Each structure stands twice: as C-alpha cells, then as structure tokens.
Amino acid sequence: MSQKVSLVLSSGGCRGIAHIGVIEELLNDGYDITSISGSSIGSLIGGIYASGNIERFKEWVCQLDEVDVFDLMDFTFTGQGFIKAERFFRNLEEFIGCKTFEELKIPLAVVAADLTHREEVVFDKGNLLLAIRASVAIPSIVTPVFYKDMILVDGGVVSPIPTDCIKRSEGDVLVVVDVNANIPYEKPNFNSLAPRQKSFSVKRKVFEFVKNNFNLTGNEKIENEGKPGYLSVIDKTFDIMQDRICRLTIVQEKPGIKVEISRHAATTFEFYRAQELIEAGKSAYRIAKENLTQKINQ
C-alpha cells in the first residue's frame, strides 16, 4: 500500500509553479496524495491537481512568454487593485474543471483573508472557483472578492503555509512546500521546450512600450540602483510580512518532509519561467528527501 501524504502548498506568487515539480516527484516516489491545503497560488495548484488536470495546465503554462502573461492581465483603474483577473480565470476554469469542492477527487482546503472581520477564512465546500479567486487576490494588485459580508483577499496575508486546516488521515506524512524560503537560489539545469511561434499583435507592441518606459515589474539594472519596480515593492513587503509566520508554522507543525524553494527564484508574475520553476521544485524535493535520509541515518 502506498504511503499517504497530506500536502500543504504555500503562497508565493508564480514561485508556486514549483509546487507542480514537487507533486510530480512525490508521485514518482509512489506517494498517495490524499488531501491538500493551499494558500494563494498553492490553492490554485492544489485545485487543479485535485481536479485531475495538472498535466494539461503544466503544458499550457510552460508555453507562456512574457507577452502572454501581460495579455492575461486585465487592467482596471480602481482603488482596490489594478488587475481584475477575470481574463486569467477564464483561461484557468478549464484546468480547474470542477465548479465545487464536492466534485474534486481528493479533499482540498483553500485559505483566504477576510478584511472585514480581520480573520482567516477556510473554504472546503461549495463554490471552488470563488474560493480560489479570493485566495489569490494579492492586496493592492488583484481586486478582492466581495462575498456575503466579507472582503476576501490573498490567503498569504494570514496563513502562507496553511497546515491548520488540512484534512489528515491515520498514518499519513505531512509534506509542506514553502516557496518563500530565505535561502540562496540555484538555477536548475533543464531542457527548455521549443517555444510556440508567436504572431504579431498590438498587445505585444503595448507590452514592449510598458516594459521599456515603466519600471512596473522591476528592471534588474534599475533595481541594483535602489529603484525597485512597483511589483518588486509589493513582493518584498509580502516577504517581510510572511517570514515570521512561515518560520513559526514550520517549527510548530514539524512536517515529515519540508520542501523549501528560495524566495529569490522569481517575482510574483514571472509565469513565463514555468519550466525552470517546475524543475526548481523537483530539485528542492530531492534535497529535502536527501536531508531526511541523512537525519534518519544519524
């Protein structure tokens, strides 16, 4: 009988694509993932896996380039955030597949933060798409979700590593994947897929203009001069905010396997680096397994 795993997937923007690599390695090692909890990007990857569509999503996300990611951003001029994320979620609906938690192949818990009542909200039944959309609503970037009497935003605000809400089973192993670890990043070796031929579009011209004239995502040269881009400032703010919560959670829960991916691996919206991040997840899992083996043998 396969060893059961309860899998906790952290928040962390596009670095959460590394969760796919960890999942693949767990399955290759013969583990049986019997439940998942996720915060922010962790809830998205968890929902897609629990729907049974992770391979299709991986194929799609690995073909995105910078302009494709820009094209998924439906900008809006409100005081609640500058991305509505409706276009992004229209693309994701086919990969999430299921409309409700009850349709999923395995139990899933999704975490969001309620600004109205200043508390954590855990979804594990009902509208799956609404829960995931709320969980990824990065404050000041992605518009929040208004549900009942709540204003819901990114789960990473209150619970970047949501170990407290996962459904455990007797004899399982708790596996925590943290993509916000304050450790050096070593770029993995991998064979890049051949990119699809991209046609000319007005969107591509707009993207080039924005990239060359506005430091939105953060240009490395300008960053080194002490002038971070808007999203870089948000990234660094979230890093500081989540640091202590993540460390305390790991210490208190003592997971059976702790997989750490460096927070320096990527910034929030670098989804066009999916292949690299998936490989980074695989590499981090192998390191975690090696460390566990050494600990057992000591």
Point out the residues that are catalytic.
40, 154
* Residue from 230, 59, 83 nearest 154 by CA: 83
Residue found by looking up tokens 């997840």 in the block: 281
Which residues are CB-contacts of 230 (< 8 A; sequence separation ≥ 6)? 215, 216, 217
Distance of CA 2 to the CA centre of its chain: 27
Side-chain-side CA neighbours of 184 within 13 Å: the count stands at 3
Phi-psi region of 196 (alpha: psi -120 to 50; beta: other; left: phi over 0): beta
* Residue from 45, 19, 3, 71 nearest 176 by CA: 19
Residue found by looking up tokens 């396997």 in the block: 257
Say what the alpha-carbon torsion angle 187, 233, 89, 41 is, to the nearest 10 degrees. 50
